[in-house]
Amino acid sequence: PPPPAPEELYTGPRHDGLLSTDDVSGEYCACCFPFFCSSIVMTPLGANAIETWHTGCVFCPPFAVAPFAGGEALRRTFKGTGNTKLGTNAFGDMTFSADGTASGGFKKRLDSQKRAFHKVETRDLAGKWRGCVCAPFVPCWPLTQFFWTEKTALNQDRYEESGHCCCLALPLPCPAKSETRTRRYVNGHATNGFVWDDGRDVRWHRDPGCA
The three-state DSSP-derived secondary structure of 164-208 is EEEECCEEEEEEEEEEEEEEEEECCEEEEEEEECCCCCEEECCEC
Q: What would the pLDDT profile of 97-141 be if each residue is shown by its tens digit?
A: 999 999 999 999 999 999 999 999 999 999 999 998 887 888 888
Residue 161, φ and ψ in degrees, nearest 5: -135, 135
The answer to pTM > 0.75 is yes
Judge whether residue 192 has pLDDT over 90: yes
Measure Cα distances from 65 to 12, 57, 210 in Å: 40, 7, 22
d(CA 211, CA 204): 6
Looking at beta carbons, which pairs linking 136-142 to residues 24 or more positions away fall under 8 Å?
136/58, 136/64, 136/65, 136/66, 136/68, 137/63, 137/64, 138/61, 138/62, 138/63, 138/64, 138/65, 141/168, 142/167, 142/168, 142/169
The pairing of beta strand 86-91 with beta strand 189-196? unpaired
pLDDT value of residue 5 = 79
Question: What residue spans of 13-151 are helical by DSSP H?
Answer: 21-24, 122-125
**The pLDDT of residue 33:** 83
Asked if 53 and 126 count as a contact pair (C-beta separation under 8 A), the reply is no
Predicted local confidence at residue 65, as pLDDT: 87
Reported as type and span, the H/E element at residue 9 is helix 6-9
| 44 sits in which H/E element | strand 36-44
Residue 119 · residue 192 · CB < 8 Å:
yes
For the stretch 22-57, pLDDT in tens is 999 999 999 988 888 999 999 999 999 999 999 999
pLDDT at position 120, please? Answer: 97
Residue 79: how many CB atoms within 10 A of its CB?
10
